[in-house]
Structure 1
Amino acid sequence: MVALGLTCAELNEKASHSLAVRSALSAAAMGYGAGLLLRRLMYATNLLHARRLPVPVISVGNLTAGGTGKTPFVAWLVRRLGAAGVRPLILSRGHAAFVVQNGQCVNDEFLILRQMAPSTMHIQGKNRHRNALRALATESPDCFVLDDGFQHWQLARDLDIVLIDATNPFGNGHLLPRGVLRETVPALRRAHVVVTTRVDLVEPCRVEQIERKVKAVHPQVVTARTSCQAVRVRALDTKAPVSTASLRGRRAFLVAGIGNPVSFRLLAERLGVDVAGMRVFPDHYAYQASDVERLRAMAQKAGSEYILLTQKDSVKLDMLPVDLAGFWQVEIEVAFEAGEDECMNAVWNVV
């Protein structure tokens, strides 16, 4: 008791507060779940209708609120389609859009995909059906890739690919806002392909447990496994790329404003980085110029000259009128560990 610095009364008050918070979050999650069920019933009974497009629609989504590696997977998918002579167009909502590019207000994921798949067309906006019709009239794509589309029931799709992050597959098992689940696990019955991502960051037995849980819900679903491989590191001030091998043994301070920041630390440690410390920001965080100097001071205090960031963070810092010496972005790509052929067969069956 003395070591904790809390009296019995204070501990009881803290426990009561925690219980009250959990109760409030549980009530909100029940309301969210009821709304979700009602919405699904409205589509199932044709009170609401999913609108179908004249070309195939492939959705890449997840069960949880972000952090599964959708963006690099979408980049991989559209590059594969493009290499086969198919012209895909990415449709996404554009949550937390902050900058105007080519006449549309876009977010950090748009900027990342422009780096990772520069030849692929991409339209962001809340009304994806309207944006798709506009694209059909002006761009003539062969298919649409719906980024983060598993819960976007307004638009009919021909293939649903769902990603599950091996490092945090189902959160704490609760729906939003008590947990991170957008839908419960049985919703996977709607999926055609389930991809377990970041399998290199966990033990193989954990991946097998995830796949058994998926198959218990949907025995016929196609399953695959991927890892996110760091392919290069790039200095933000000079844009000079260097090998990821140069990071081994280097002391670096990490910065991540992504859905699953723990995965970035695990990736850095896997690369042999001596992690001096880490600053985590909310997903889609809007960086200010003042953040740069604060981060530099934190890194120096931790004894590090290098600051490593995700691409999602670097595309926003790169737009600030500040000196970014010492800031480096880690560039990643998807690599299949199992099930690539089966996944692509499902894609070719609809395209």
Structure 2
Amino acid sequence: MFPPEHLWARTGVLTVLLSPLAALFAVVSGARRLAYRRGWLTPVAVGVPVLVVGNITAGGSGKTPLTIWLVSWLRARGYRPGVVSRGYGGAARGCVDVQADSPPAEVGDEPLLIHLKTAAPVVVGRDRVAAARTLLAHHPGVDVIVADDGLQHYRLQRDIELAVIDAASGLGNGWLLPAGPLREPRSRLRSVDAVVQVVRGGAGPQGFSGAWRADYSAGQAYRLRAPQEKRALSELPAHDWLAVTGIGRPQGFFAMLEAHGIRFSPRAFADHHAFQPQELPAGAAVLMTEKDAVKCRAFAGVDWWAVELDVALESGFVDWLDARIKQ
């Protein structure tokens, strides 16, 4: 069975069949945007600046790695950032403060990864305003909030909007859900503060006007049973690796491994897949993303490794963001 991303890559018969539903989606989502633009609905300020990292497409575009980079960048400049996220894939109800030992099945794999990578306070909740208020109540030192995947959550007032686009998949066939991957029309990109185009492996940028480039590349790897043991990919044993991932754009992970000359067999699962011990051979040599690793720590084999992701933003974007933050 083909994933939706395959069907959304181009216009076909199914696109046309789904176009009435896409038109209905356009009316409903457009009415909501109009209500906030006209002031019929009022966004809620939470008392500290809010930076939103999101996208206008369904599926993985690289929001979470950019969120991790942004939190680390803010802290290096003396800020005390916190994060709110929906916690997609998690079963938590209400607002939950993410801890290092929180089950990913409860809080979601991406919020847990953000907390583990940055040590920043993270609160998950479908209602981002409630999540932001919980974050500030539990962590009164927070002076700036990063909203992961919050572009369409208009109720939370924001100061900066960053839209992330994957260079390899772009905007697909350009149709709205469910006929295509778009959550909002392409014109929405004109109203955000910055568009960041993620380039992974051998993919080239697609030339979105005014977009800043972010290069994502494979960094060091560490053993799931011993996270402190890190090695460059070139220093890993010459195994026939099993490369496993459950992310929105699995080919991006595989392309990065290929760029390092890693010999592997790929195995892709659905995004946010809840891995079970019986799905992966315990005695195999396995490479996976850090997002997958947080769900496999409890039953990892001896030779299971997570590959870190290095994020490099072009200097012009960093200068622009620094100037905006100071405002």
Query: TM-score of the superposition, structure 1-length normalised?
Result: 0.80
Partner of 2:207: 210
**Shift of residue 41 of structure 1?**
1.6
**Which residue of 1 is the match for residue 191 of structure 2?**
190
The structure-2 alpha-carbon separation of the partners of 1:346 and 1:256, relative to structure 1 and needing over 3 Å to count, comes to farther
1:152 maps onto 2:129 in alignment: no
Gaps of 5+ in 2: 1-11
Match for 2:167: what amino acid?
A
Partner deviation per Cα, 1:136-189 (whole Å, 9 max, x = no partner): 334221111111111111111000111111111112212112221111211012
Paired residues of 2:128 and 2:153 also in contact (CA < 8 A): no
Report the AA paired with residue 198 of structure 1. V
Tell me whether 1:133 sits opposite 2:110 in the alignment. Answer: no
Question: Are the structure 2 counterparts of residues 96 and 192 from structure 1 closer, same or farther at C-alpha, using a change threshold of 3 Å?
Answer: same
- Report the secondary structure of 2:280's partner residue: helix
- The letter for the 2-side match of 1:108 is D
Q: In terms of mean alpha carbon deviation, does 335-344 or 168-177 score higher?
A: 335-344
Q: Distance in 2 between matches of 1:137 and 1:65?
A: 31
Q: Partners of 1:29 and 1:270 in 2: how far apart?
A: 38
Q: 2: distance between equivalents of 1:75 and 1:323?
A: 24
| Residue 236 of structure 1: aligned partner | 224
2:245 corresponds to 1:256: yes
**Residues 224, 343 of structure 1: 8 Å contact kept:** no
Conserved in 1, the CA contact under 8 Å of 2:200 and 2:256? Answer: no
Distance 1:183 1:247, change over 3 A: farther
Q: How far apart are the structure 2 equivalents of 1:138 and 1:65?
A: 31
| 1:316/1:323 CA distance change after superposition, 3 Å | closer
Indicate how the Cα distance of structure 1 residues 136 and 114 shifts in structure 2: closer, same or farther if over 3 A, else same: closer
How far apart are the structure 2 equivalents of 1:310 and 1:196?
20
Task: Give the Cα–Cα distance (whole angstroms) in 2 for the partners of residues 238 and 72 of structure 1.
Answer: 22
Match of 2:275 in 1: 287
Amino acid at match of 2:183: R
Question: What are the within-5 Å matches in structure 2 for residues 42-61 of structure 1?
Answer: 42-61=35-54
| 2:289 paired residue among 310, 315, 329 | 310
User: Cα distance, 1:110 vs. partner?
Assistant: 1.6
Equivalent residues of 2:15, 2:180 under 8 A apart: no
User: Which secondary structure state, in structure 1, belongs to the residue aligned with residue 248 of structure 2?
Assistant: coil
Separation of aligned partners in 1, 2:272 and 2:135: 26
Describe the SS at the equivalent of 1:54: coil
Structure 1 unaligned residues grouped into runs of 5+: 1-17, 216-222, 298-304
Contact 1:226/1:338 (<8 A) preserved: no
CA distance in 2, matches of 1:227, 1:82: 21
Query: Are residues 1:68 and 2:61 paired?
Result: yes
Stretch deviating more after TM superposition (102-111 or 223-232): 102-111
Say if 2:318 is the partner of 1:341.
Answer: yes
**Residue type at the aligned position of 1:236:** L
Query: Is the partner of 2:19 in helix, strand or coil?
Result: helix
CA contact (8 A) 1:175 1:184 kept: yes
> For the residues of structure 2 that align with 1:339 and 1:199, how far apart are their CA atoms?
19
Structure with greater Cα Rg: 1
Q: Which structure 2 residues correspond to residues 170-185 of structure 1 after superposition, within 5 A? A: 170-185=171-186
Q: Deviations over 1:291-320 (max 9, x none)?
A: 123xx69xxxxxxx522111111110113x
Structure 2: distance between partners of 1:340 and 1:97: 33
In the alignment, which of 85, 100, 103 is matched to residue 78 of structure 2? 85
Q: Is the 8 A contact 2:216 2:311 kept in 1?
A: yes
* C-alpha displacement of 1:92: 0.7
CA RMSD of aligned residues (A): 2.3
Instruction: Please give the alpha-carbon distance, in whole angstroms, between the structure 1 residues aligned to 2:166 and 2:137.
Output: 37
Could you report, residue by residue, the CA deviation over 1:303-351 in whole angstroms, capped at 9, with x for unpaired residues?
A: xx522111111110113xx35123211111211245233342354234x
**Separation in 2 of the partners of 1:137 and 1:115?**
21
**Partners of 1:260 and 1:309 in 2: how far apart?**
13
Deviation at 1:235, TM superposition (A): 1.6
Q: Please name the residue that 1:169 is paired with.
A: 170
Structure 1 residue aligned with 2:234: 245
Describe the shift of the 1:193–1:23 C-alpha distance in structure 2 as closer, same or farther (beyond 3 A).
closer
Match of 2:214 in 1: 226
Contact kept? 1:255, 1:309, Cα under 8 Å: yes
Aligned length: 306
Q: Determine helix, strand or coil for the equivalent of 1:151.
A: coil
Distance 1:340 1:157, change over 3 A: same
